[in-house]
Amino acid sequence: MKYEPKMTKEAEEDLKEFNPAQRRQIQKSIEKFSENPLSKSEGGYGNPLGNKGGKNLTGLCKIKFKKLGVRVVYKLVRTDKIMQVIVIAARADDEVYEIAAKRNK
C-alpha cells in the first residue's frame, strides 16, 4: 500500500528551517509513513485530523515528532497513490493547523 511522498513547495521551505540532523529524521519518517499513510481507522499509520481549533481539516492526517516538537500534516491523493506533505512545523499550539487549513485550499 506504498504511496509516493511528495512535498509542496511550502513544505520544502518548511523543512529547510530545521538543522540537517532534524531534516534527515523528518525525511526518514515521512518515507516510513508513506509505506502505509492511511488513517489508523483504515489500518495505517496516520492520525486523522477533523476539526482543529475551528478549522475543518477533514481528509488530512498528521505525524507527530514528540522529541523534536514537530508536526507534519499531509493528505492522500488516493487515485495517484501520493502522500502530499502540506506542512512541516513546530507543534506550538494550533499554529500548524492554521497553516494547514490555509495551504489546503
pLDDT at 94 over 90: no
**Contacting residues for 76 by C-beta, under 8 A, at least 6 apart:** 3, 37, 38, 59, 61, 82, 83, 84
Residue 11: domain span: 4-103
Overall domain count for the chain: 1
CATH code assigned at 94: 3.30.2310.20
Q: What is the pLDDT of residues 4-56, one digit of tens each?
A: 999 999 999 999 999 999 999 999 999 999 999 999 889 998 899 988 777 88
Grid coordinates of 44? 495505517
pLDDT computed for residue 93 by the predictor: 66
